[in-house]
Copies of this chain bind each other. A is one copy, B any other.
Amino acid sequence: MFEYQHRVQFYETDPMAIVHHSNYLRFYEEARIHWALQMGMMDFQSNDASRFAVIGADVRYLKPAFFGDVVDIQVQARLLGSRIIFEYKMFCKKRNNQLLSEARTEHVHIDSHLRPRRPDEKLKTVMEKQSWIETWLLSL
């Protein structure tokens, strides 16, 4: 399963000294983009990241993440009609692989005028090879 690491920075934490809840969506975006890079679905030069609009996001916050934590994010992805679904789990290695958060985001392919369009062949080909565990998330 695809895995991505993020090191929690000081400026990502709030007065409770934990990661602000909005930043989880940024960490999950990092994981999603590196997944797409590894799949050959995008490269940085062509700015392909702009071709996928987020239409929904659902995040569960199970345990807090702290400054200096290194979090491991696992990702699975599937095509559902014209939507692309991503699911994520975030773990903290140094605290016994404690599960910190789970999330699901939904996306559509868009053109440069922000209009939705059908998934292209490249996307379909990549997505057909993905394995998907329906009951992978425990809290969503």
Contact = CB atoms under 8 A, between A and B. Distances in A.
Nearest to A25: B22
Interface string A45-72: 1010110011111111110101111000
B67 A56 contact: no
A80 interface: no
Contacts of A9: 26, 29-30, 33
Contact of A18 (B56, B60, B64, B114): B114
Contacts of A49: 10, 15, 67
A69 B44 CA distance: 8
A23 interface: yes
A9 to B, nearest CB: 6
